[in-house]
Structure 1
Amino acid sequence: MTRPFHAVAVLMLGATLVLTGCQVNSHTCRGGECHVTTTGTGKTQSIDQWDVKITEIYADSAVFSVDRSRGVRIQVGRSVRVRDARITVTSIEGETVKYDIE
């Protein structure tokens, strides 16, 4: 009888993560450049000296805000200056965005 309970618990956890806009974030920084992997939108993350927020994710681009700036849409493979940061989007797979910031 524990199998149905486990299935319900897993489904409830998955629904909770979707509803809360769960973010998975990792980054490494060296010499003023950071490599970032993040999933989801809406949460401001402190990356080195910047507060970065992704507000929208598309198949080929994402919208970034740095230190509460206006959102800037950046395509995969492009580098764009947002406030005092230069962001290069390296890949987007579903809700996972990888980018470099310097």
Structure 2
Amino acid sequence: MQRSVPVLAVLALGGALLLGGCRYHSHSCHYRGCHVTVSGAGQTVEVSGVHLTVSRISSQGMTVATDGSGPTVIGVGQSTRVGRFKIKVASADNDKVKFDIEGEWIWVRPFL
């Protein structure tokens, strides 16, 4: 029994992941804001109905736009308004950034 095709498929997928990098995001929300983690620049993520475009991540911070606003550079430890939202960068490295976003748009569904 030959298994060359499945092995080749797995190797090809693994190579694509290595070349493309791992991109993901996660978030958790509370009354008026969300804690967000984005890994991999050049992506648009949706957080509670808001589209955030993280175009650059470095050890100094990130470049982000919200719902059509212009791109804004925010350094680690800095807080600034981006469109209708206040964003504060908590930490960043060359591939991953953690930040908080606040605004009246945050809406957390109560448990029923």
TM-score w.r.t. the length of structure 2 is 0.75
Q: How many residues align?
A: 97
Percent sequence identity is 35
Q: Which runs of 5+ in 1 are unaligned?
A: none
- Deviation per residue, 1:57-102 (Å, 9 max, x gap): 1221110010121110000000010001100000012301000000
Mapped to 1, the partners of 2:49 and 2:32 lie a distance apart of 9
RMSD over aligned Cα, in angstroms?
A: 2.3
Larger Cα-atom Rg: 2
Distance change >3 Å, CA 69–CA 21, structure 1 → 2? farther
Contact 2:54 2:63 in 1 (8 A): yes
TM-score w.r.t. the length of structure 1 is 0.81
Distance change >3 Å, CA 14–CA 72, structure 1 → 2? farther
Q: Which runs of 5+ in 2 are unaligned?
A: 103-112
Q: What aligned pairs does 1:31-50 form with structure 2 within 5 A after superposition? A: 31-50=31-50
Question: Structure 2 counterpart of 1:32, which letter?
Answer: R
Higher relative contact order (CA 8 A, sep 6+): 2
After TM superposition, which residue ranges in structure 1, 4 or more long, deviate above 6 angstroms?
Answer: none
